Amino acid sequence: MLDALLWGAVATSSLVVGAALAMLRRWSDAVVGIVLAFGAGALIAAVAFELAEGGLAEGGPLAVGAGLAAGALTFFFADRALEAGSGRRGNRGAGTAGVPLALGALLDGVPEQAVLGIGLAAGDGVSAALLAAVLISNLPESVGSSADMLRAGRSRRFVLLLWLGVAVVCTLAAVGGRAIAEGAPPALTGVVDGFAAGALLVMLVDAMIPEARAKGGTDAGLATVVGFAGAASLSLL
């Protein structure tokens, strides 16, 4: 269990680092947009080369499909509940700025870390590609979300505690994945991978990519490709 706790903490550390970077200085909208675009590209690569591919290899198309639907619907309804709570349907106000990205980090981080723990229990060790993809994508996601929340008037304490909470829950998911992996059917890995992919894809289209384009302008597309290429290269290596 100690190895799962250690690697889980390593994988989620970039979330807290990103929040700290956002607090060190005020980041311009253009920089935040480019950072978000880079992270979006890395996440797309993680969905394609790690989650979807790995899930299909382990659990097959039915398991991945079920996970995709569950992850997509979970993020969709959780995000709508967040909007409804703000009282501004279709318009994320000051109270919710940046929070959907944190929600996305949680909903995809938990199954990602569970997969990491399952791999450790199976004796496969830690997937360097998945670990690198998580680190690369978490950092800009956390920086962008934290910068948005700080600009919207959230306190540094709130932002830091929010990301610490996300990191702790995701780390514990790695321990949980390792604990339940004994005797677990391969289909479970497929469902878990699919869930992460589904939550990620909805978050990317609904929150991360539109915000990256709005803030980063025409440079956002190029930054997305760079992020995708970097994460894809690590996965293929």
Question: Tens digit of pLDDT for each residue in 73-128?
Answer: 988 898 788 777 654 444 444 445 677 778 777 877 787 787 777 767 666 666 66
Highest mean pLDDT among 106-115, 142-151, 180-189: 142-151
The rounded percent of the chain whose pLDDT value lies above 90 is: 20
Q: Give the DSSP per-residue string, the chain.
A: -HHHHHHHHHHHHHHHHHHHHHHHSPPPHHHHHHHHHHHHHHHHHHIIIIIIHHHHHHHHHHHHHHHHHHHHHHHHHHHHHHHHHHT-TTS--TTTTTHHHHHHHHHHHHHHHHHHHHHHHTT----HHHHHHHHHHHHHHHHHHHHHHHHTT--HHHHHHHHHHHHHHHHHHHHHHHHH-TT--HHHHHHHHHHHHHHHHHHIIIIIHHHHHHHHTTHHHHHHHHHHHHHHHHHH-
Percentage of residues in the chain having pLDDT higher than 70 = 87
Q: Tell me what pLDDT residue 11 has.
A: 83
